[in-house]
Amino acid sequence: MDSLFAFGLGVSTLNRAGKVIDTFFPAPLHQVTGAVASQIQDRFTAGSQQVSPASVQAFIDQVQPELRPLLEADRDLTAVFLPKDSDIGSTSEAFLKLHLLSHRLRLPNTMNLDGIFGHLPNIAWTSRGAIDLTELASLQLEARVRGEYFEVHSVDKFPKMANYVVPTGVRIADTSRIRLGAYLGEGTTVMPSGAINFNAAALGPNMVEGRISQGVILGADTDLGGGASTMGTLSGGGNITISIGKQCLIGANGGTGIPLGDRCTIEAGLYITAGTRVTVVDETGETVRVVKARELAGHSDLLFIRHGSNGAIQCRTNRKAIALNEQLHDHN
């Protein structure tokens, strides 16, 4: 039997009309094979479905005993069965794929996310959970009349990751800046100004003080300085996937719109885009050639700096690989 792409059993929030606006999957399954795959195929249909706790008790007992608390629910549960990695067809399917990323079961840019924006409603994420925007005002009024108050943390299609998944071995100074669907590897530290979008990754260990945009992957032992940014496919990068290799440093307020290999450094305040004019110099400082930065994309051991006198952007061989402070990435 070919492996089944994904399965999740969880709890959904419904609006007053009974429409799903979010789904929490505590233990999603990915690339399921063998007897477990057979049980899923026998018990569930493809796509999203509502199931009673009683109807899935035997499945939970045999396959996922860690989900036994779900059996205490006083309402239907949500099951999503994706035999293949196909286009997203419902809100719960979108949430399952976001969970796969944040549970480290799938890397960014390796899943079909077509349809995700159309199936994620814009939601008020509050201290009372997800609230349909059309119902927010009336619920706020009802709460105030009862002398109660609840906080609206954000209005967005994506919730913060930590309300659904907290990966092991990470530090997150401000959880509101990490969206569900972000991939945070072991040893990753995200400082207060750091931000990681959905379908983006810090593979770990990393120090993230800047912004990792959608689709961008940060390699191991790489630092992103304060205010630094990476150009994602949703922010002008077109179809080019920006990745940054191992042991790189993007200085404070710097950034890149081209992929970088390993052991690369961009000095603070310098943003490299594909069309940036770069002077390649040798060990003696002599000009070798002048190129557009896209011609250097993906290469390793590059040091991008500005000339101290004329401000011209130069590229030299990077002789000093960046070593991260091990104490900062020990989260035990």
Per-residue pLDDT tens over the stretch 149-182: 999 999 999 999 999 999 999 999 999 999 999 9
Q: What is the pLDDT of residue 306?
A: 94
Q: What is the pLDDT of residue 238?
A: 53
Q: What is the pLDDT of residue 319?
A: 66
**CATH fold of 4-119, please?**
Alpha-Beta Plaits (3.30.70)
Q: What is the pLDDT of residue 249?
A: 96
Domain spans of the chain? Answer: 4-119, 124-156, 161-329
CA 258 vs CA 161, 175, 296, 319: distances in Å: 27, 28, 8, 21
Q: pTM value?
A: 0.92
195 forms bridges with which residues in the sheet? 211
Tell me how many degrees the CA angle 316-270-226 measures, rounded to the nearest 5: 120
Residues of the chain with pLDDT under 50: 235-237, 321-325, 327-329
Q: What is the pLDDT of residue 283?
A: 79
Q: What is the pLDDT of residue 239?
A: 63
Q: What is the pLDDT of residue 233?
A: 65
Catalytic residues: 209
Q: Which CATH number fits domain 161-329: 2.60.120.560, 3.40.50.620, 1.10.10.10, 2.160.10.10?
A: 2.160.10.10
Q: What is the pLDDT of residue 64?
A: 97
90, 92, 97, 98 alpha-carbon torsion, rounded to 10°: 120
Q: What percent of the chain has pLDDT over 70?
A: 93
Q: The tokens of 179 are what? A: 């969206």
Q: What is the pLDDT of residue 325?
A: 42
CATH topology match: 4-119 vs 124-156 = no
Superfamily classification of domain 124-156: Trimeric LpxA-like enzymes (3.30.60.70)
